[in-house]
Each structure stands twice: as structure tokens, then as C-alpha cells.
Amino acid sequence: MNRFEYARPATLAEAVAAGAVPGAAYLAAGTNLMDLMKGGVMRPGHLVDISRLPGLDRIERLGDGGVRIGALVRNADLAYDTDFARRFPSVAEALLSGASAQLRNAATAGGNLLQRTRCTYFYDTASACNKRDPGTGCDALGGENRLHAVLGWSEHCIATHPSDFCVPLTALDAVVEVEGPKGRRDIPLENFHLLPGSTPERETVLEHSELITAVRLPAEAARFAANARYLKVRERTSYAFAVVSAAAALRLEGGMVAEARIALGGVALKPWRARAAEAELAGARPEPVTFRRAAEAALADAKPSGDNGFKIELARRIIVRTLTLAAAGTPERMPALPASPFSGAITHA
């Protein structure tokens, strides 16, 4: 293990000051950072342990009906908070479809936003990777890239952002609260992560030493509660990242879609808000043809970055299914457990 300084500041202000040292990294639960350090992918000279900072582990219902999720709230605690899950069911579903029970018990909300890509060339320090070592090239191009991006990628990086949590958050206009040397600021989650362009090493708009203190969901987000779902397609039933996932939330009025929110996971280097698809749905009848039109619109600009063309059609189908499920109504029981494939009577044709 490389040598590093370790600090456990007692207050937010001390943490931000300690984080200002060049080469410093914040340590939350470490489920991602520790793996990266063990593999030699990240070698921070200073670890600023924020896991015990006071006051950041609360889920607060705000006066206007919104909610503030402290950066240190554990993924599992948030998903199993019944009030939260009832009002933001797709977020709870997304959390529970991520990682494993053990990881969810440890992983924090802030850490989930800032988890790094699972591109295997990023993890393999012998490979060229512009994100890990700017300017070295991208070995994923022309390599094993079945699961890489189909939207928003560049020749410099074709990786995806792996988070499930961020997908419905983006759809629901979440805002990231940040504390930094220059004080507090709010950043809409949709603008928080950056597409690779020519600087894939720059992943978010955060300045060095800025610390996430909370993620806020506005009151309007709860207005989708009756018709909001998250669906994740992966290559085993649990403990696997999404091949493609989607969050869909509908506000239905008089049998018509008054407002729709759609975001995709596993397709780009950021959680992908599909505004064009939302526009297709607004004012339309919630029915298969409309859903398919929305899906086409969402993927209109998609192109394979390698052996991953299948993800484009898969993404369209996932959008259609997620919208269908959302239109059918959020299940009574929340968080909805991933449907068991083992139940259900079989009918012969």
C-alpha cells in the first residue's frame, strides 16, 4: 500500500481545508476508493476521512415538500426509509438494484455520485487510459468494449458512468449541494457530471476540495410518485452493473401524460437525461406507440463506440418497458423488489 497522510477532521470547515492540499481525496465508505488504491489506479497522498463528519447522515424532509439527503446517508438506509421510498419510489428501486446488500450497507450517497467508471482498461494500470493518465490514449477503443458508451462519447474516452442511484435523481431534477473553499453552492445533477470531450480526466464540475454535503430532491419530484419506476438490465440477477438502465416518471392527468421524466444509465459517461423523449410524451396518450416514439427520440444521436451496437436497441426497449411499468402505476409495496423470475404460473400456447 502506498504511503499517505490520513486525517479525520471534526468539522466540515476543517474537512474542506484539509481537502485543499494537492493530491488529497475524501474518503467516505471507501467501497470504490479503497479498491482503486489497492489496484494502484488512484494514489492520493492525503486521505481526508469524512465518514464521521457530524450532521451529514440525515434524511431531512424540507418545508416545501422536498428532501435533503445527507452525503453520508448509506444507500441501504435511504432505500429502506419508508417515507422517502413512498415519495421517490424510483430512487429507492435504483438503490436496491445496485451492488450487493453488503456494499449498499456501507456505500454513501455522496460516494455513489462520485464513483468512478468500471471501464476495465481504467482499472488495468498497464493499459493506456486518458482518464487515468491524460494523454496516453484509450485502449478501450478497439478493445473489449461491449459495455461501453453509445451516447456522448468521444475518441478520447468511451466509458460509462456506472451509478444506478444517479439515473432517477437526474430524471427528477436533483440538486447537489457542495461546500468548498469559496463557500456553498448548488449544482443541478444534470450538469454535475461532464462528458469526456478531450478531457476525460475531468469528470465533474467540482473544484478541487469541494465536498458534497447533500443531494436535494425538489418538491415537484414527489408529484411523480404514483407512476415512477427504475429498470436495470444486467448480466446476472444481482451484484452486477447495468448493461443499460432507465428511470421513467410520469405525471398523468385525465388519462394523458402531463409531464414525463426519463433518464438512462449505462449508456454514457454521465447519467443521461432524455429530454427529447420527454418532449415526445408531454401531452400524449400513454400507449405503446408513444413510448416507442419517445425511445427513438432518446437514442436518436446514439452510435456504437465498438462492439456495443446492441445497447442502442436494448436501451430503446428498456425505455418502452419502463414507461409501460410507470404508466401501470408504482406498485403498492415499496421499495419494489426486483421481480422474481421464479414465481408466476406458466401457460402453454
Partner 1 sequence: MPEITLTQAPAHIRMGSSIGQPLTRREGVLKTTGAARFAADNHPPGMVYAALAVSSIARGRVTALNVAAAMAHPGVIEVMTPKNAPKLALDPDAKNNPFMFRLDLLQNDRVRYANQPIAVVVADTLEAATEGVALLEPQYEAEPARTGLDSDDSFAPAAVGAGSPAEESHGDITAGLAAASVRMEAVYDTPAQYHNAMEPHAIVAAWDGDTLSIDTPSQGMAMAQARIAGLFGIAPEGIHIRSPFLGGGFGSKGLFSGPQVLGIMAARLVGRPVKLVLRREQMFGPVGHRAPTRQTLRMGADGQGALTALSHHTKTASSTFDDFFEPAANASHALYASPAIATSHEVVRIDTGTPLFMRAPGEAPGSAALESAIDEMALACGMDPLAFRLKNYAEMEPISGKPFSSKALRQCYEQGAERFGWAKRPQAPRQMQDEAGMLVGWGMGTAVFPALMFQGQARAMLRQDGTGVVETGAHDMGQGAWTALAQIAADSLGLDLDRIEFRSGTSDLPDAGIAGGSAHTATVGTAIHGAGADVIGKLADLAMDDERSPLFGAGNAGVIARGGRLHRRDDDGRSESYADILARAGLAEIEGRGTGAIDPAAQAAYAMHAHGAVFAEVKVDPDFGQVRVTRLVGAFAAGTVVNPRMVRSQYYGGMIWGVSFALHEHAVMDKRSGRLMNPNLAEYYVPVNADVPSIEAILVEERDIHVNALGIKGVGEIGVTGTAGAIANAVWHATGVRVRSFPITLDQLLDA
Query: Quick one: which of 86, 185, 275, 321 contacts partner 1 (CB under 8 A)?
Result: 321
Question: What CA–CA distances, in Å, run from 301 to 7, 23, 150?
Answer: 45, 37, 9
Alpha carbons 300 and 323: distance in angstroms, whole number: 18
HSE value, Cβ hemisphere, 13 Å, CA-based, for 29: 23
How far apart, in Å, are the Cα atoms of 73 and each of 51, 141, 184, 219? 10, 37, 20, 20
Query: At its nearest, how many Å lie between ligand FAD and the CB of residue 35?
Result: 6
Using the minimum distance from each CB to ligand FAD, give the nearer residue, 47 or 277.
47
Contact map string, positions 91 to 120, toward ligand SF4, x by CB under 6 A: --------------------------x-x-
Chain positions 117 to 136 lying near ligand SF4, rule: CB under 6 A, are 117, 119, 121-122, 129-131
Q: Which of 66, 110, 196, 335 is close enough to bind ligand FAD by CB under 6 A?
A: 110
Q: What character string, x for contact with ligand FAD (CB under 6 A) and - otherwise, covers 292-321?
A: ------------------------------
Tell me which amino acid residue 32 is. N
Q: In the numeric block, which cell numbers belong to residue 195?
A: 462528458
Q: Rule CB under 8 A: is residue 1 a binding residue for partner 1?
A: yes
Q: Quick one: what does residue 29 bind among ligand FAD, ligand SF4, partner 1, none, with the CB cut-off 5 to 8 Å set by partner type?
A: ligand FAD
Note whether 92 and 334 are within 8 A (CB). Answer: yes
Contacting partner 1 within 270-309 (CB under 8 A): none
The three state secondary structure string of 225-236 is HHHEEEEEECCC
In angstroms, the Cα distances linking 181 to 11, 48, 165 are 14, 15, 27
What are the cell numbers at 138? Answer: 484509450
Nearer to ligand SF4, 79 or 159 (CB): 159
Q: Rule CB under 6 A: which of 143-172 touch ligand SF4?
A: 157-159
Stretch touching partner 1 by CB under 8 A, among 121-129, 189-197, 261-269, 293-301:
121-129
Residue with cell 504511503: 3
28 binds ligand FAD (CB under 6 A): yes
Q: Among 295, 155, 169, which residue's Cα sits nearest to residue 224?
A: 169
Residue 165 near ligand FAD by CB under 6 A: yes
Given the rule CB under 6 A, which residues bind ligand SF4?
117, 119, 121-122, 129-131, 138-140, 157-159, 200
